[in-house]
Amino acid sequence: MSSSSSVSVVSGATARLLPGGPVADEVLAEVAASVARLRAAGVTPALATVLVGDDDASAGYIRIKQRQAAELGFASPHVHLPASASQADLHAVVADFNADSGVHGVLVQHPIPGGLDYDRALAEVDPDKDVDGMHPVNMGRLALGLPGPLPCTPAGIEALLAFHRVPVSGREVVVLGRGATLGRPLAMLLAQKRPTANAAVTVVHTGVADWPRYTRRAEILVAAAGVPGIVRPEHVRPGAVVVGGGVRYEGRRLLPDVDESCARVAGAITPRVGGVGPTTVAMLFRNAVRAAQRQTGLG
C-alpha cells in the first residue's frame, strides 16, 4: 500500500491518480486574477444565491460557496426563502436578480423542497446569468457550439483530463449514463472540435443491456450513472483512463460509481474523494466571472 499521490492506494494497483484539487486550484487562481481585474476597473462581480427551505446539506453547500466567493473577491447577495415559499415567490426572487445589473450570476441551490419545480425555476434565470450552465438555452448553445456558460461537471472533467495531460483528441471515450447533468452534456462537450476534446464519444445507458461491450473498449471511461459500484474491473480496458463522475450520497457517505478495485486495471483513475467534485465547484466560479466579463464588456 502506498499513500503517494501518484499511485492509487488500492492494494496491487498501479493506476496513476488524477486528483481534481490541483485542477481546481489552477482554475480558481485564474478566476481570482480575473476578479481582481474587474474590481480594478470598478466592477465587483456578484454571484447571487437562492436557498429554499431548511435542508442542512443545501445550507452547508451555500455557506461553502459564499465563503469561497468572498475569498475570490465576489459579492454574494443571498436570499433564503422558507420551505413554505411558492413557485411564484421563487420566480420573483430570480426575477429581481435577473433585473439587477449589479448581479452577474444567479444560483438556485438544488434540491428545492418537494412541491416546487426546480427546472421551472432554472428556466426563469437569465441564461447569461446561469452559472450552472444548465439553462435550456445554454444546453442549446452547447449543442450548437455557441459561446455560453458550460455545465460545471462536464467542463470540470474536460479540464481535469487536460490538466493531467490525458490525450482526448481522436480517442475513444465511453460515457456510462445519459443524464442531463453529466452524461449527455459531457458527450456533447468531448465531441466538440477542440484540442482538449475532439473525441469519438459513445454514450451507454439502461437501453444498452450489454454496455460492458462498449466500456471494455474505451480508452477513456467516464462513469455518470449514479449507481454505486456499477463500474468494476471487468468493465475496464487494461490501461484505460477511468473518471468517476457519478456518485450517490447515503447521509454523508459518498458512494461512487467506480469500484475502487478498478485501480488494479486502469492506467489512470480519479480518486474516490477529491476527483471530479472540486473541479465542478471551480467551474461554477469560472462561469460567474465570465458572466461578469461578458455583461460589463470588461476582460
Ligand X SMILES: NC(=O)c1ccc[n+]([C@@H]2O[C@H](COP(=O)([O-])OP(=O)(O)OC[C@H]3O[C@@H](n4cnc5c(N)ncnc54)[C@H](OP(=O)(O)O)[C@@H]3O)[C@@H](O)[C@H]2O)c1
Nearest residue (CB) to ligand X, 70 versus 273 = 273
178 annotated to bind ligand: yes
Looking at 132, 257, 259, 293, which residue is catalytic? 132
177 annotated to bind ligand: yes
Q: What angle do CA 249, 255, 261 make, to 5 degrees?
A: 175
Rule CB under 6 A: which residues touch ligand X?
A: 153, 176-183, 205-207, 211, 224-227, 230, 245-248, 276-277, 280
Pairwise CA distance, residues 177 & 277, whole Å: 17
Q: Would you say 51 and 85 are in contact if contact means Cβ atoms under 8 Å apart?
A: no
What's the closest the beta carbon of residue 191 comes to ligand X, in angstroms? Answer: 17
60 annotated to bind ligand: no
Give strand pairing partners of 75: 46
What's the closest the beta carbon of residue 116 comes to ligand X, in angstroms? Answer: 18
What's the closest the beta carbon of residue 1 comes to ligand X, in angstroms? Answer: 25
- Catalytic residue flag (residue 65): yes
What's the closest the beta carbon of residue 118 comes to ligand X, in angstroms? Answer: 12
DSSP 3-state percent helix, strand, coil across the chain (nearest 5): 40, 15, 45
- Catalytic residue flag (residue 132): yes
Q: Would you say 211 and 205 are in contact if contact means Cβ atoms under 8 Å apart?
A: yes
- Catalytic residue flag (residue 25): no
Per DSSP, 48 falls in state: E
Nearest residue (CB) to ligand X, 97 versus 211 = 211
Nearest residue (CB) to ligand X, 19 versus 103 = 19
Nearest residue (CB) to ligand X, 103 versus 203 = 203
Q: Would you say 129 and 98 are in contact if contact means Cβ atoms under 8 Å apart?
A: yes
Pairwise CA distance, residues 182 & 156, whole Å: 10
Cell of 237: 480496458
Which residues are marked as active site? 65, 109, 132
- The binding site for NADP(+) consists of 177-179, 247
